[in-house]
Structure 1
């Protein structure tokens, strides 16, 4: 995990404090492309590494949420497959949605991470203890993030965030042992 080597202490402290990790979908959990069949059905592609990372966060007691401005049946299917119960689609105000999740879970904003790629993600990122931009995020998003992944959306960027949080919480050895 070369991307976790020599991380700044303040970043590790932020990541170690995370109890809720929230993610945008289009451009973050996916590569941002919208695919439609001839019949008008939407198709999305998710990276398997991201899915395992999300499952591992949950296994270590970290809440996972999906907050998307769009409504998409494939997102609901993927969330169900990953046992993610905090799924909020059609959210025009991601910050307010995130605030409601935090209140419901009794989690402070500094204990939350938000991962995004584009301008609608900025308000939610602005209230979090850990704001993450994926590698191919819009420059305005990247400049306001605490950390930026090396991989792009839909290409394993979410897994990098999951690994960062688990690493900062001292779970790397337990994860390695789990898979022996």
Structure 2
């Protein structure tokens, strides 16, 4: 099954979920459909999973085999983000997680974030963007949006300055 068909199937299943309102969802915060590799970590137990959707308050994940993780877990994204979470429900291979507490970055990811920060602070926006893109913005949608907005603003400023400079007085 290709990704598009998989995503359509997921959307259809989400709409058919019991307890959802017609044309909407019952969550307090919207979620975006994604397909990201992650790990559910509970002490020494680690469960590989795929994040089907995520938002600022939680995520729905799918594991390969039926499992009921402990109530308190961490969701580790491939980009380095670590989200403390509480298991809300388990249905077959899918698990609903509610994020609790502050998200952090694994040490290696935090070091990469610092290098990108220093590049940005020193006026090297392109280098910072390349570094952030390489780690998929640490799987942080707000960071991705802010970085893209900064890049767009810089491009707009360059265009306006170039236009202004080309209108030189003779």
TM-score normalised by length of structure 2: 0.22
More strand by share: 2
Query: Considering only CA atoms, is the larger Rg found in Structure 1 or Structure 2?
Result: 2
Relative contact order, CA 8 A, sep 6+: which one is greater? 1
Q: TM-score, normalised by structure 1?
A: 0.22
